[in-house]
Structures are given as structure tokens and as C-alpha cells.
């Protein structure tokens, strides 16, 4: 996280300039397309396209690697779990059975392995675009642009406020836990059993919630005093109207989505098994 | 001032009672404020000054409900019949909490907040935001996030935010709270400049009167127990005793002159230290007073309990933030660690409690190195009291909160009960032992946090900013309580930027500046060293200014004399 506690990474690329709402629409279209198909070839194409876009956004690897690893690890666990629970599911889907290993309670089939590979690729094809969305979208500009899409501004602004005060919450948490530790409340590894430590962490919640409530009260007053909620609409300082690129991206997304749906309706894109 | 002018804000037999309370908080307020005036509203905690401020800016009755009786008008109209938004067009409020009121993710966004709510077009906002920021000298910080700014800078951004709305009245709710002396001085100067240049009406709610009065003020309103007890020019108010009578701290130089038996009247203009100092009568009285008692010798130096030896610290590979600090604290000694925000005070206290480990150097407790001690082991010897008691209290019942550390250590229940009760007696909280913490006042909660640390019988207690959030009366009580602990042999280290506190309650002071101790010694001599004070960006007390301008004694002598006189006075009053 940056100093301000935002995930946003400042750069000047096509993706950074794109309107937040346009990026959200793009993410939605991408997701819909991914879930329409069950064909690894489609996913590989989308994955490579995504990686290309991610490269173009010039995000430093050190800043995005945590999220990327979380997605990959989640994916691996998901795959292992699926194999263990239903090692013959792929055969059910494909209608053929090629036994690889006999697990005792069930047989693991080649179809399943390929099915899992397809599934993993499906999630991986969503990864680059999600990372892009998270790291290139400025919270305020995003709030402004979803408001323009028709989301009420009070809801859109909540997003902004959350980003503003998360670092403060983090600071409070640190200072409270420091003072607790000085009083002998063990929080670190090796300072009591897991249950004890969890209990101690729960104890921090009390002052933390209390200070947060006090803060909410102050923030609400500050917003009232400066006219938040005065009118049915509000303008946004750091958002600009859609440019030509924004419109083009939206059109491209719509076209690709329409084509995908047509292709899928025609029957292409069910589970593809090459062997 | 033209009294014939139409008042901009007027209260007439005004009372207010919160819906949740049985008694009114404000009684019979009669006050007229005229356009262009600069008013200080002073009063101790619970005097109703914040409630009055909320009545002015519309939070009452729109955010906090209650019963209003009597009349009040803002620019001729009753605010309660308008909306909070209409009121905010006339009254701009700068709140006490500099951080929470900063709503935007960046400086410019925060200033633009009111424009956005007013549906101003984005292209029209930009120049107006820039204009407002240049007024408070913050234009170069346009794109910074609040976390990169100091408290004083955040306050200036908030000021820009309300200035941009072109309000008639600027209302400052405790603008000096949370600011270090240098930033506070800067803030008062900026408020005065804006007042002079814009001609706006300025209302300042504060209890740190001396700091506010460094800049001219037209009238002071003194509040106590929900009533206005005095209204007058600074000269009139300072000449009277209305401040001490109502639990407020008058400027130190005024106290000194009163002790010296000077007859203060509005004609000698006590609000101006310079004019006062040139008054022959005043100089003579002060000179005679200083000579009356000679300075008794300093307390002999006790063996050091805690010793820091050339301690250095840096976060990771970053720049050194503590650059070779050496410091000794004796048993039962009260020491002030002074320094501006960012001087490294917090890091130094973390080094003592073991939250962070020094990159080099050593920390000794009773001659034994505690470098390798765990946080918990240190905690039994070195207690740490946070600024805000609400950040420390985790249990619902007072008894449980105080006994927490012992319970964790696995001490038998009977022993815990005995110990907790003993500590509660010391802290004057015994009668509350079975109460929930939530029923206590802020000052009492602060005592609970001290009690919860005392149970493990620490040798040293570090108290972070003990005066924060407390008015003069409460903080005097709290500090005398801590001093009694010191008499019983507990060492106290106060981390503070409050010069008055250091002066009155510590024997020794060390000044931290950019991670280095630039001075340490007896508090009276350190605090009167102008060069050190300037270097550390701290503020000279008005006592040393008084001695310099009257030239009747060295600043150190006057300060020592003053402290001794107050101590004697306190003892006398305690005997009575």
C-alpha cells in the first residue's frame, strides 16, 4: 500500500486515463465472457491479452505481486480440492473415461485433469484485468464516475471515505496494540496459545471500535457543515467527462460481448477436450 | 468598535437542553457579536463553550437535537428555522480534530468538497481551490494526501476549505488542541492575518488563553457551568480574577505580576506584555518580589534508574531518526522530554518500551542492559500511558481493566483483588471500583489507565502528552496526583510539547530536536534558553519574555522563583 493507504499506483498510461466506470464496465464484460465459455483456448487468448494490457499499464511488480500471488495460491488450492473431492468429474462432463490413477474411493481420470486445467485457466484469465482495475483506479475518480452511471452519490462517496480513513484505522490499531503489549498482553507469536492471542486481539477491537465511532461522528459533522447532501446531485472535482478513448473502449466491449454471446448461443465454447 | 452597528450574531436569554440530558447545558446566554469582531470564548471543560459553538454553526439543532428557549439570530434570522446548509453559508467551522475533518484524499480535493456539494462545475472549481490554498500558503502541497501533512498544515487546508465558501463568520473550535507550540503560534498569526485582510468575524473557542492572546482579540467571553460569567476586552478580563475563579489558566506573566502584588487595571494594558514591562511601578513590584525569597538549592542528583547510552535508531535501511541519544532518569525524578511533532519523541518512547529495538547503543535499567528484554518484561518495569485513555481501555468494568496485567501474569485471584483495590485507593478511584468504565469522565479514565499500569509496580511511567484533552483544572488535579506518585519513588517521563507542564511539574527537561538531544538540565534553565527554544521550534514562556523585557531578573531566576512561589502557595492552601 502507498503512504495514503491507497492501492492506486500513479502512472500515465492508457489504462490510468480510462474513466473508472468504463474500467468497471470492461471488467464486468470480461467476467461475463469468461463465464460464458468452458473452452481453454478462449481462456488462453484472454489471459495473454490480459497480460499484454497489464504490461502496458507499467505497474511495478513489487507492488502488485501480493495480489497476484494470492490469486495463484487460491487457484492451486481450489484445483487440489476439486481433484480430491471429485476425481472423475471430468469424465462425467466429457462422457469418456481415461483412468490415470486409482485413488481407492474413486479413479482420477485424464479428463478431470484437463478439466481442472481449464478451470484454472478460467480464473487466471480474470487475474490480469482484476489487478489492472484495482491498481489503476483512483478511488475518488471511481466514485465520481459510478455516480455518473446512476449510482446515488451518497453510496459512491462511501467508497471514497473508506479509502480515506483506512490508514487512520491502521494507525490506531498499531498504537493500541503497542500499548497492550507493553501491559503484557501477548499478541506476537510465542506469547501464549493461539486461543489466548486471538482473545487478546479481540480485546483490541473494543477501543478500536470506540475510537472509530467517535471518528465517524466527527466526520459526519464535518461533512454536514460543508454541505454534503445539500442537493440531489453533486459535482466531482477530480473527474472529467468521457473522452473519445472511453467511448471507443465501451463500444469495443459491447461488440465483443455481443459476438461472444452469439457464438456461445450457436453452440461453441462448451468443455473442449483435445484427446 | 461601533456599538451602534447591527449585530451579526445575537443571543438573548438563550438556553439549550440536549434531548438526552435532564438539565440544560446552556443557561440564559445574552451575547451580541458585531461584524468584523474577533472574539475569544474561553471556559473549562463542561462550561458549555462547545455547545455554544454548535448552536452557532447549526450542528445544534440539526445534528444534535434538544430544546431551545429564548431568542437567537444569525444575520437577523433565526438559525433553527433555516437548514444546516444555509447556516454553513454564513458560518464556516474549523473543527478541533484536524485529521478527521480532512475528508478528501488529497489537499485540493478536500478544499473542493464544499464546491462539489454546491454543484460547482469542475473547471470552475480548480482556480477557486488554488486561490483558497494560496491564501493559507498551502498551494505547493496541492496533491499531497493528509498522511503527508502535519497537524498545522491540515488545519490550514480546512481553513482554506471554509474560506473558499466566502462565509461571514469563521468559527474555530479549539484550534490549538493537538498543535505543537510553533504550529499553534503560526495558526494564531494566520487567523489574525485573515481577520485583518478579510474583515470577517472571527470566533475562537479555546482554553489556552495565553497562546490566543499573543495576537490581538477584541473581546473575551468567559463561560462557566453553562453561563456567561464575564465579557470584556482582554485588558478588562486580565485585570480581574475571573479566569482563576473559573478554572482557567491566565497568562503566566499575569499570574507572576499578581503574585508580585501589582495592581492591574485596564489602564496599564495588561494584554500587552511590552507596554506592561515599560511601566515603572510594575518593574519595581516585580523586582522586589523576586528578591523576597532566595532560590533554595536543587534536589541532589539521585542514582540513575534508567540510562540511555548513545542510542541510535533507523527504520530498516532508512534514515536515522534517533541519532545518538544519551539520557539519564533518576529514581523518583520527573523529567520532561520536550520536542516538536516529528522530533522523534514517539520513536524514543517506543525504544524504551521495546516496540522497536535500537540499531546501536544501549538502554540500562538499574545498571542492567534491557536491550534484549521482551516488550512484556519491560512492561512490568516501564509503564506507558497513551495520550487518549479510550485507546487503552479494553475491559468493561474498572476492576477488570485495572487487574488485566496481573490476570495475564497468572497471579492468584485473591492477590489480584487486593492489589487492584490498593491501587484504586492510591488513584482515588476506590469508590468507583465496581463501576463500568463508560460511566467515568475523561480525567477519571486517564486515572484508570494509570492505575492499570501501577498494578505491576513499574519503576518508570512514560506519560504521553498528559494534558491533551484536559482543561487547566482537571490537568492540575491529574498532575498533582502524578507528582504524589513521584514522591513515592516512581520515576515519571512526560513526553510533551506543553511548556507550562514542564515548567511546573518536572525537575529536569531534555529537548529533542531532529532525533538529537540538544539540551538537558534543570527545567528552568532549559526552558529559558532562547537559542535552544528557537532551534527546537518550541516556544518561550511568557515568564522569560517578562524577565527579559523588564530586566529585573534573569529569566531562569524569575522562573525558579515563580515555581517556588506557586508550590508554597499550594502547600498553604492544602493546609487550610
Task: List residues bridging with B495 in a β-sheet.
Answer: B337, B464
d(CA B545, CA B396): 48
Question: Do residues B274 and B241 touch, judged by C-beta distance below 8 A?
Answer: no
> Does residue A1 register a pLDDT over 60?
no
Put simply, the answer to whether B391 touches A167 (Cβ < 8 Å) is: no
pLDDT score of B292: 64
Residue-range domains of chain B with CATH: 9-242 (3.40.50.300), 251-292+544-576 (no CATH), 304-540 (3.40.50.300)
What residues of B are in contact with residue A212 (Cβ under 8 Å)? none
Task: Find all residues with CB under 8 Å of A182, minimum gap 6, and list them.
Answer: B353, B354, B355, B375, B378, B379, B382, B383, B384
pLDDT digits (tens, 9 = 90+) for A203-241: 888 888 888 888 888 899 999 999 898 898 999 888 778
Residue of B nearest to A175 (CA): B391
Interface contacts A/B by beta carbons within 8 Å:
175
Put simply, the answer to whether B85 touches A230 (Cβ < 8 Å) is: yes
Put simply, the answer to whether B119 touches A224 (Cβ < 8 Å) is: no
pLDDT score of B299: 54
What residues of B are in contact with residue A239 (Cβ under 8 Å)? 122
> Which grid cell sits at B271?
494584554
Question: Do residues B453 and B472 touch, judged by C-beta distance below 8 A?
Answer: no
pLDDT score of A40: 92
pLDDT score of A5: 54
pLDDT interval class at A3 (50, 70, 90):
very low
Residue of B nearest to A139 (CA): B105
Q: Report the 10 Å Cβ neighbour count for B312.
A: 16
Put simply, the answer to whether A238 touches B380 (Cβ < 8 Å) is: no
Describe the strand order of the beta sheet including B508-513 as a list of residue ranges. B382-385, B460-464, B491-496, B334-338, B508-513, B516-522
Put simply, the answer to whether B353 touches A182 (Cβ < 8 Å) is: yes
pLDDT score of A2: 46
Residue length, chain B?
576
Which of B103, B121, B390 is closest, CB to CB, to A222?
B103
Residue of A nearest to B451 (CA): A183
pLDDT score of B413: 93
Which of A207, A221, A223 is closest, CB to CB, to B391?
A207
Q: Which residues of chain B, if any, have pLDDT below 50?
A: 1-3, 295, 297
List the domain boundaries for chain A: 14-138+240-265, 155-225
State the smallest CA–CA distance between residue A130 and chain B in angstroms.
23
B14, containing H or E segment = strand B9-18
Which of B103, B118, B390 is closest, CB to CB, to A164?
B103
pLDDT score of A162: 84
pLDDT score of B412: 93
What residues of B are in contact with residue A168 (Cβ under 8 Å)? 99-100
pLDDT, mean of residues A241-266: 92
Which of A207, A226, A238 is closest, CB to CB, to B392?
A207
pLDDT score of B293: 58
Q: Which of residues 161-220 of B touch A (CB under 8 A)?
A: 161-162, 165
pLDDT digits (tens, 9 = 90+) for B460-518: 999 988 887 777 887 888 888 888 888 888 999 999 888 888 988 998 999 999 999 99
pLDDT score of B4: 55
pLDDT digits (tens, 9 = 90+) for A221-230: 999 999 898 8
Q: Which of A72, A69, A109, A73 is nearest to A88 (CA)?
A: A109
Amino acid at each position: 500500500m502507498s503512504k495514503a493507504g491507497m492501492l492506486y499506483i500513479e502512472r500515465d498510461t492508457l489504462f490510468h486515463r480510462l474513466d473508472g466506470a468504463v474500467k468497471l464496465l470492461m471488467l464486468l464484460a470480461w467476467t461475463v465472457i469468461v463465464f460464458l465459455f468452458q473452452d481453454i483456448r478462449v481462456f488462453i487468448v484472454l489471459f495473454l491479452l490480459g497480460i499484454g494490457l497489464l504490461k502496458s499499464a507499467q505497474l511495478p511488480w513489487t507492488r502488485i505481486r501480493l495480489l497476484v500471488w494470492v490469486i495463484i495460491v487460491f487457484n492451486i488450492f481450489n484445483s487440489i480440492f476439486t481433484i480430491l473431492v471429485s476425481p472423475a468429474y471430468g469424465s462425467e462432463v466429457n462422457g469418456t473415461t481415461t483412468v490415470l490413477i486409482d485413488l481407492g474411493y474413486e479413479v482420477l481420470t485424464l479428463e478431470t485433469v484437463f478439466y481442472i486445467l481449464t478451470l484454472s485457466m478460467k480464473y487466471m484469465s480474470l487475474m490480469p484485468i482484476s489487478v489492472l482495475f484495482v491498481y489503476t483506479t483512483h478511488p475518488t475518480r471511481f466514485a465520481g464516475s459510478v455516480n455518473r452511471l446512476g449510482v446515488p452519490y451518497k453510496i459512491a462517496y462511501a467508497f471514497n471515505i473508506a479509502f480515506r480513513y483506512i490508514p487512520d484505522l491502521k494507525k490506531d490499531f498499531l498504537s493500541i496494540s503497542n500499548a497492550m503489549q507493553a501491559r503484557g498482553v501477548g499478541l506476537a507469536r510465542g506469547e501464549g496459545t493461539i486461543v489466548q492471542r486471538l482473545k487478546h486481539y479481540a480485546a483490541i477491537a473494543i477501543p478500536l471500535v470506540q475510537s472509530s465511532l467517535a471518528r465517524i461522528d466527527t466526520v459526519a459533522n464535518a461533512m454536514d457543515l460543508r454541505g454534503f447532501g445539500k442537493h440531489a446531485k453533486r459535482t466531482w472535482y477530480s473527474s472529467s467527462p468521457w473522452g473519445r478513448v472511453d467511448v471507443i473502449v465501451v463500444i469495443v466491449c459491447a461488440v465483443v460481448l455481443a459476438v461472444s454471446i452469439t457464438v456461445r448461443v450457436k453452440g461453441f465454447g462448451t468443455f473442449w477436450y483435445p484427446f | 468598535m461601533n456599538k451602534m452597528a447591527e449585530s451579526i450574531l445575537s443571543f438573548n436569554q438563550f438556553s439549550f437542553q440536549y434531548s438526552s440530558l435532564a438539565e440544560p447545558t446552556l443557561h440564559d446566554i445574552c451575547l451580541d457579536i458585531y461584524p468584523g469582531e474577533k472574539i475569544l470564548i474561553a471556559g473549562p471543560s463542561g462550561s458549555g463553550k462547545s455547545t455554544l459553538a454548535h448552536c452557532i454553526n447549526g450542528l445544534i439543532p440539526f445534528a444534535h437535537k434538544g430544546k431551545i428557549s429564548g431568542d437567537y439570530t444569525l444575520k437577523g434570522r433565526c438559525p433553527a428555522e433555516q437548514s444546516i446548509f444555509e447556516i454553513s453559508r454564513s458560518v464556516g467551522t474549523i473543527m478541533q480534530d484536524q485529521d478527521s475533518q480532512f475528508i478528501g484524499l488529497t489537499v485540493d480535493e478536500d478544499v473542493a468538497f464544499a464546491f462539489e456539494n454546491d454543484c460547482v462545475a469542475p473547471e470552475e472549481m480548480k482556480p477557486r481551490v488554488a486561490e483558497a490554498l494560496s491564501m493559507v500558503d498551502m498551494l505547493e502541497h496541492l496533491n499531497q494526501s493528509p498522511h503527508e501533512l502535519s497537524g498545522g498544515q491540515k488545519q490550514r487546508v480546512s481553513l482554506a476549505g471554509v474560506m473558499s465558501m466566502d462565509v461571514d463568520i469563521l468559527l474555530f473550535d479549539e484550534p490549538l488542541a493537538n498543535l505543537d507550540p510553533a504550529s499553534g503560534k503560526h495558526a494564531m498569526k494566520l487567523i489574525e492575518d485573515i481577520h485583518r485582510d478579510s474583515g470577517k468575524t472571527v470566533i475562537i473557542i479555546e482554553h489556552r488563553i495565553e497562546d490566543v492572546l499573543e495576537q490581538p482579540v477584541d473581546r473575551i467571553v468567559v463561560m462557566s457551568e453553562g453561563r456567561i460569567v464575564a465579557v470584556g476586552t482582554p485588558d478588562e478580563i486580565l485585570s480581574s480574577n475571573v479566569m482563576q475563579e473559573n478554572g482557567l489558566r491566565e497568562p503566566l506573566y499575569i499570574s507572576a505580576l499578581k503574585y508580585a502584588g501589582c495592581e492591574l487595571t485596564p489602564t496599564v494594558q495588561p494584554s500587552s506584555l511590552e507596554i506592561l514591562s515599560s511601566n515603572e511601578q510594575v518593574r519595581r513590584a516585580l523586582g522586589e518580589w523576586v528578591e523576597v525569597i532566595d532560590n533554595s538549592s536543587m534536589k541532589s542528583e539521585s542514582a540513575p534508574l534508567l540510562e540511555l547510552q548513545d542510542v541510535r535508531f533507523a527504520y530498516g535501511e532508512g534514515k536515522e531518526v534517533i541519532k545518538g541519544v544519551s539520557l539519564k532518569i533518576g529514581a523518583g525524578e520527573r523529567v520532561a522530554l520536550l520536542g516538536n511533532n516529528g522530533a522523534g519523541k514517539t520513536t524514543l518512547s517506543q525504544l524504551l518500551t521495546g516496540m522497536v529495538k535500537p540499531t546501536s547503543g544501549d538502554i540500562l535499567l538499574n545498571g542492567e542492559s534491557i536491550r534484549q528484554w521482551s516488550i512484556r518484561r519491560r512492561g512490568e518495569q516501564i509503564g506507558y500511558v497513551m495520550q487518549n485513555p479510550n485507546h487503552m481501555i479494553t475491559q468493561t468494568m474498572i476492576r477488570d481493566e485495572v487487574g488485566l496485567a496481573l490476570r495475564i501474569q497468572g497471579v492468584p485471584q485473591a492477590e489480584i483483588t487486593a492489589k487492584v483495590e490498593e491501587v484504586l485507593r492510591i488513584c482515588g478511584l476506590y469508590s468507583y471500583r465496581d463501576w463500568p468504565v463508560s460511566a467515568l469522565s475523561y480525567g477519571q479514565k486517564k486515572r484508570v489507565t494509570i492505575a492499570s499500569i501501577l498494578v505491576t509496580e513499574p519503576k518508570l511511567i512514560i506519560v504521553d502528552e498528559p494534558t491533551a484533552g484536559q482543561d487547566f483544572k482537571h490537568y492540575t488535579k491529574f498532575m498533582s496526583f502524578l507528582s504524589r506518585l513521584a514522591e513515592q519513588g516512581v520515576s515519571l517521563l512526560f513526553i510533551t510539547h506543553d511548556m507550562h507542564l514542564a515548567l511546573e511539574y518536572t525537575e529536569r527537561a531534555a529537548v529533542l530536536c531532529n532525533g538529537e538531544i540538544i539540551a538537558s538540565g534543570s527545567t528552568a534553565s532549559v526552558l529559558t534558553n532562547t537559542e535552544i527554544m528557537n532551534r527546537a521550534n518550541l516556544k518561550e514562556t511568557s515568564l522569560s519574555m517578562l524577565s527579559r523585557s523588564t530586566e529585573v531578573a534573569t529569566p531562569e531566576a524569575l522562573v525558579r522563583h515563580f515555581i517556588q512561589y506557586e508550590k508554597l502557595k499550594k502547600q498553604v492552601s492544602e493546609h487550610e
